[in-house]
Amino acid sequence: MNTAKTLDIAGLETVYDQLATAIDGAGADKSELLLVKLALLAANRLGDAQLFAELIAAAQRDL
């Protein structure tokens, strides 16, 4: 049984806005560090290294 939670469009828009605000607040010199820290925190919360690797691969597509 799959119990994974997903966000609806409104939730994704909220997350996007929060992330954009955080990146702007960090400034150009710290935005990469912010994103790495966020990714590591998300990976830890996710608790699945293989799934996280799949998410990285998905994010790399069509850059």
pLDDT digits (tens, 9 = 90+) for 12-56: 999 999 999 999 999 999 999 999 999 999 999 999 999 999 999
**Length of the chain counted residue by residue:** 63
Q: Half-sphere exposure of residue 4, counting CA atoms within 13 Å on the CB side?
A: 8
pLDDT digits (tens, 9 = 90+) for 1-22: 556 789 999 999 999 999 999 9
pTM here is: 0.84
Helix axes 31-46, 49-60, angle to 10 degrees: 140
pLDDT, residue 17, reads 98
Portion of the chain with pLDDT greater than 70, in percent: 95
pLDDT, residue 2, reads 57
pLDDT, residue 50, reads 97
